[in-house]
Amino acid sequence: MELLNVYLISYFQAEDYEELALTGSEAEMADLIFENPSLIEDGFKPLFKEKPIKHGIVDVLGVDKEGNIVVLELKRRRADLHAVSQLKRYVEAMREEHEKVRGILVAPSLTSGAKKLLEKEGLEFRKLDPPKRGKSKRGRQKTLFD
């Protein structure tokens, strides 16, 4: 292949002088729940973060005040049908080993379809906004390639 006309060739070093800080991640939500379990409900005791199970990784696994296993699926943004399906899969996998298992979707909000599916499947929802923190721990990214 041969180029007949070249109109522009450009090269530049892109630099970003502003700090980009990703806050409010699912990991930070999990930390917040471990620091203050009553955000989920009174008597909730978180036991594991990112617990591997048969069908994936549970964000937070704990027990309620009655000793039931509680699976938390965390979403930092509005939760949709996919999030409910994911939670349902995890709860079903845990029910293979435990008699009483509850599933709670934790997110800032839900789509209407997600709300209906949660109710249909006997799953629960807790509203929790991701934490907003000041400065990033990583420092400033100076260029796109740092």
Percentage of the residues of the chain whose pLDDT score is greater than 70: 84
Q: Which residue has the higher pLDDT, 47 or 137?
A: 47
The per-residue pLDDT for range 84-109, each reduced to its tens digit, is 999 999 999 999 999 999 999 999 99
Ordered strands of the 124-127 beta sheet: 45-53, 56-63, 69-74, 101-107, 124-127
* Inside any domain, residue 17: no
The predicted pLDDT at position 12 comes to 73
63 with 97: CB under 8 angstroms? no
pLDDT digits (tens, 9 = 90+) for 5-29: 878 888 777 776 655 555 678 999 9
CATH code of the domain in which 37 resides: 3.40.1350.10
pLDDT tens-digit readout, 33-67: 999 999 999 999 999 999 999 889 999 999 999 99
Domain count, the chain: 1
Distances (CA, A) of 76 to 16, 23, 64, 132: 26, 10, 23, 11
pLDDT in tens, 121-134: 999 999 999 988 64
Residue 16 in any domain: the answer is no
Give yes or no for residue 112 having a pLDDT over 60. yes
Residue span of the structural domain in which 67 resides:
26-127
Instruction: Give me the pLDDT at residue 55, please.
Output: 84
Q: What local confidence, expressed as pLDDT, does residue 137 receive?
A: 45
